[in-house]
């Protein structure tokens, strides 16, 4: 079945550091890929998405490129802020309704 693997957290960075959160997937067919973010006490917010190979999703300084050859969708940001502290979830969708398969989430802590 479909699955998503994310790097273990927590990831602790200093403000303005470079961020990478790794995400790899296993899926039948050609999935759409997503990154969601969850702030404490809140639901999930869609951060960015990519629907086909080599697509780059971007939003709020975050980027991720759909790499079919390595089945990866790593999240990057050039300079993190304290306000980016949250849990980040990688997810995929492979058609047939609207079921999303999520990774386990990676907690990011950004310190001054």
Partner 1 sequence: KAGVTQTPRYLIKTRGQQVTLSCSPISGHRSVSWYQQTPGQGLQFLFEYFSETQRNKGNFPGRFSGRQFSNSRSEMNVSTLELGDSALYLCASSQGTSGYEQYFGPGTRLTVT
DSSP 84: G
Closest among 36, 13, 41 to 92, alpha carbons compared: 36
Which of residues 49, 62, 77, 106 is near partner 1 by CB under 8 A? 49
Only segment of 10-18, 40-48, 63-71, 77-85 that touches partner 1 (CB under 8 A): 40-48
**Residue 31: strand, helix, or coil:** coil
Examine residue 103 and tell whether it contacts partner 1 (CB under 8 A). yes
Cβ 65 to partner 1, closest distance in Å? 19
Q: What ranges make up the beta strands (E) of 44-102?
A: 44-50, 56-59, 62-65, 75-77, 86-93, 101-102
Decide whether 51 or 81 has the Cβ nearer to partner 1. Answer: 51
Q: Residue numbers of the site for partner 1 (CB under 8 A)? A: 32, 34, 36, 41-46, 49, 51, 89, 93, 95-105
């Amino acid at each position: 079945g479909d699955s998503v693997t994310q790097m273990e957290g927590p990831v602790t960075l200093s403000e303005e550091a470079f961020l990478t959160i790794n995400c790899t997937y296993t899926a039948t067919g050609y999935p759409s890929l997503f990154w969601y973010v969850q702030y404490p006490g809140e639901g999930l917010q869609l951060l960015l998405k990519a629907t086909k190979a080599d697509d780059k999703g971007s939003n709020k300084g975050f980027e991720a490129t759909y790499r079919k050859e390595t089945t990866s969708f790593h999240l990057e940001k050039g300079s993190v802020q304290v306000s980016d502290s949250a849990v980040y979830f990688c997810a995929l969708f492979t058609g047939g309704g609207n079921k999303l398969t999520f990774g386990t989430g990676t907690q990011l802590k950004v310190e001054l």
